[in-house]
Structure 1
């Protein structure tokens, strides 16, 4: 599965792969593999990214097109 949304969110927030990898405490190459769908992204990383980008895990996973978190 290609996680285009994590790449799009990263670019939209002017972050580098190195910055996001450091935030997740990962090697940049591991994060790159998540973006490209070479490696499955773990649930804990999806949750942390949703927190960082102030969106929902459903949005990151493509289950909704609404990036707004519910109040």
Structure 2
């Protein structure tokens, strides 16, 4: 199964967004967002919920616990 960082990159690319654009959506600096994709840092719980809602996926999918987006 994919890691959180791999899922973030995959979901971002599916939407045709650049890291800079995704950082703006999340209210982060680009480097902070990049740390998510490079598995150097993780969002807070409210941040995870925001991302799951934004991409329309479950938290289990986002965190790499399931392969079905639901």
| TM-score when normalising by structure 1 | 0.84
The 8 Å contact of residues 2 and 36 in structure 1, kept in 2 or not, is answered as no
Relative to structure 1, the CA distance from residue 48 to residue 2 in structure 2 (aligned partners, 3 Å threshold; closer, same or farther) is closer
Return the structure number with greater relative CO, CA threshold 8 A, min gap 6: 2
The 8 Å contact of residues 4 and 63 in structure 2, kept in 1 or not, is answered as no
Aligned CA RMSD, in angstroms, stands at 1.4
Structure 2: 5+ residue stretches without partners = none
The Cα shift of 1:2 comes to: 5.4
Number of matched pairs: 68
> Runs ≥4 in structure 1, deviation > 3 angstroms?
none
Cα distance in 1 for residues equivalent to 2:4 and 2:57: 18
Cα distance in 2 for residues equivalent to 1:44 and 1:55: 15
The Cα shift of 1:42 comes to: 1.9
The Cα shift of 1:19 comes to: 1.3
| TM-score when normalising by structure 2 | 0.85
> Which residue of structure 1 aligns with residue 14 of structure 2?
12
